Amino acid sequence: MRQVLAVRKTRVLPSWKQWTQLPNVLSPVEQRVVNGSLGVIVLTLVIFGITYVTAHRIDTPAVGGEYTEGLIGEPQFINPLYAIQSDVDQDLASLIYSGLMRWDPQEGFVPDLAESLSVNEDGTVYTLKIREGASFHNGEDVRARDVLFTINAIQNGSYRSPLADQFYNVTVVQEDDTTVSFILQKAFAPFVQYLTVGILPASLWAEILPQNAPLAALNVQPVGSGPYEFAEFAKDKRGSIRSYTLTRNNDYYGQAPYIETLTFKFYPDALALQDALANKNVEGASVVEYEAREEVASNRNVELVEPFLPRETVLYFNQNLSAALKDVAVRQAIQKAIDKTSLVTEIYANAARVIHAPILPGMLGYDETIVDPFDQTAANTLLAQAGYTLVEETGGRLLKSSLQSEEEPGKTLRFTLTTPDLPDMRLVAEKIQGDLKTVGIEVEVNIVSPDLMATDVIAPRNFELLLAPIMLEADSDPYPFWHSSQSKGPGLNLVGYSNSEVDTLLVEARTGTDAAKRAEAYKQFQNLLAKDAPAVYLYQSTYGYALSKKVQHPGIERIIIPSDRFADITQWYIKTKKALR
């Protein structure tokens, strides 16, 4: 019997030393087969690797690039105290300055320089804490003293700021170095929108006398805390600024922008700007008038962006100048006789949307159930019920009074429609004129220069029917337009509308702190307004903007003012880099 001294498990795979001997035991044919197989394996791995990387490699935004845009006008006051008076100044100020709050297209008003906002239970105290790391372009930290200086300057009559009314009877208090409180005498829910005003660096402006502020060099060489900072400007021989350059703020407290340089060029009017865009002197245009949109849309180098504005076009009924308009049936008949959809499709090529009430989609209190449909049959019925008989020979309507004999002619149903001398307003007025003629209402169109509308038409309430666009603010507060206290100038209740129940609802809505209750009050108000029919809400407009196709952006669907097209400027980019996802 043999003695077993050791047991070792047999190898399943050859050792590395054995593998190195493989070529010595293979025939030439076998060697070629092995080599070919190895080559296929290596090639397969390479292809797989390339495919994987390609499939998972994406373009991501990178810092760099330049963009040039044309604006109408010339910068004068790139200063939050005055910029509201000019679209050019406001465009530039929105990029250079930042406020405690900012308007976000998706979320509404959100903290900006402030890291937090709290409002007391009564809605009279707004307290904000300034975020750490926020600094001005000169390197100084943004502090509470800068907020106090800015608001006090707005309230100081010597500065002559048009924003003074927004902060009337508002007290601003420094709680500590980074905390401020705004104290209102009574609750005013829309106040938060005023906290978007840009903050000035107190250390620079405190040295300038208030009466000299409009003359300061800082108005055109500003120092703010926004995503872009002033770089340079160029003037022509007459001293007018012809171009203005901003550069990326590398120390911006938020997400720093990707586009390195923004250059703006200035033109006297829309036609000159359109020519500059067509001739490639600029890559984008700050505004595209509605009559030029078709041509701009055909430009292969730009994207025509048409975000909705809170701009409503309304037909107002002045009952004080027309006895016929005192009859609600007549007002409702006019309302039903106007084909709003054709206004939007035929005149604006769908670059607008039909509305039926003062509060627009996306705003607090919007009610989609309020509708006044186009129905000329119903309009004819209402006019007949109001006592107006259709005369087949003329196509007009006469009022048959019980005091009139059969031989005495009645009063013709006729109105004068006043509208500003703007290309689209002319077309809309003519379309309404045609719609109302279909139901027997005669309309004479009165075209007035836009420069004279305020003094000759609005202030003296000198109109029967008024077709006019109106601009709303970000908050859906209709108080200025429909509260009875606003019937006299400078109030905007143009037709002297008065309804005590409406007055109560409007006050409750603007002073309430509960958003749901405010929205409900606005819905009740709109139903009452629709019943009384003091006006016809026609459509909401869009803003035309030409943006270079080289600029990538998240979309611009809704703005409050033109400068809001830059609300997401930090997300725009031109350059890209590759990265694995």
* One-letter-per-residue 3-state SS of 70-93: EEECCCCCCCCCCHHHCHHHHHHH
Residue 47 in any domain: the answer is: no
pLDDT at 7 over 60: no
What's the domain count of the chain? 3
Q: Which of 348, 357, 310 is nearest to 470 (CA)?
A: 310
Decide if 262 contacts 256 (C-beta within 8 A): no
Are 366 and 451 within one domain? yes
> Tokens representing 37?
């197989």
Q: What is the pLDDT of residue 426?
A: 96
Q: What is the pLDDT of residue 5?
A: 54
Are 354 and 491 within one domain? yes
Q: What is the pLDDT of residue 407?
A: 42
Residue 13 in any domain: the answer is: no
Of 149, 182, 211, which marks where a domain is finished? 211
Are 282 and 427 within one domain? no
Q: What is the pLDDT of residue 49?
A: 65
Q: What is the pLDDT of residue 100?
A: 98
Which of the 8 DSSP states describes residue 390? E
Are 516 and 435 within one domain? yes
Give the tens place of pLDDT for each residue, 239-279.
999 999 999 999 999 999 999 999 999 999 999 999 999 99
* One-letter-per-residue 3-state SS of 221-256: CCCCCCCEEEEEEEECCCCCEEEEEEEECCCCCCCC
Q: What is the pLDDT of residue 22?
A: 63
Give the tens place of pLDDT for each residue, 68-117.
999 999 999 999 999 999 999 999 999 999 999 999 988 889 999 999 99
Strand order in the sheet with 261-267: 228-235, 241-248, 261-267, 66-72, 284-285, 545-548, 302-305
Are 528 and 549 within one domain? no
Residue 295 in any domain: the answer is: yes
Distance CA 267, CA 273 (A): 6
Average pLDDT, the chain: 92
Give the tens place of pLDDT for each residue, 273-313.
999 999 999 999 999 998 899 999 999 999 999 999 999 99
Are 85 and 117 within one domain? no
Q: What is the pLDDT of residue 439?
A: 96
Are 420 and 341 within one domain? yes
Q: What is the pLDDT of residue 74?
A: 96
Q: Tell me the whole-structure pTM to 2 decimals.
A: 0.85
Distances (CA, A) of 248 to 100, 237, 258, 468, 571: 20, 29, 8, 40, 13
Count of C-beta atoms within a 10 Å radius of residue 80? 27
Q: Phi and psi (nearest 5°) for 228?
A: -125, 150
pLDDT at 2 over 60: no
Decide if 358 contacts 515 (C-beta within 8 A): no
Torsion of CA 325, 328, 332, 334, to 10 degrees: -10
Torsion of CA 456, 461, 463, 464, to 10 degrees: 180
Residue 54 in any domain: the answer is: no
Are 293 and 425 within one domain? no
* Mean pLDDT calculated for residue range 311-327: 96
Are 315 and 444 within one domain? yes
- Domain hosting 192: range is 99-211
Q: Which of 94, 51, 321 is nearest to 199 (CA)?
A: 94
Residue 528 in any domain: the answer is: yes
Residue 422 in any domain: the answer is: yes
Q: What is the CATH number of the domain that holds 575?
A: 3.40.190.10
Residue 134 in any domain: the answer is: yes
Decide if 316 contacts 468 (C-beta within 8 A): yes
Count how many Cα atoms sit within 13 Å of the Cα of residue 216 in the half-sphere of its side chain: 22
**Long-range CB contacts (within 8 A, 24+) of 232-239:** 233/75
Bridge partners for 205 per DSSP: none
Give the tens place of pLDDT for each residue, 15-25.
766 666 666 66
Distance CA 227, CA 232 (A): 16
Are 561 and 531 within one domain? no
Are 177 and 245 within one domain? no
Q: What is the CATH number of the domain that holds 172?
A: 3.90.76.10
> pLDDT tier at 221 (50, 70, 90 boundaries)?
very high
Q: What is the CATH number of the domain that holds 518?
A: 3.10.105.10
Give the tens place of pLDDT for each residue, 475-514.
989 999 999 999 987 889 999 999 999 999 999 999 998 9
Residue 352 in any domain: the answer is: yes
Are 451 and 517 within one domain? yes
How many residues can be counted in the chain?
A: 581
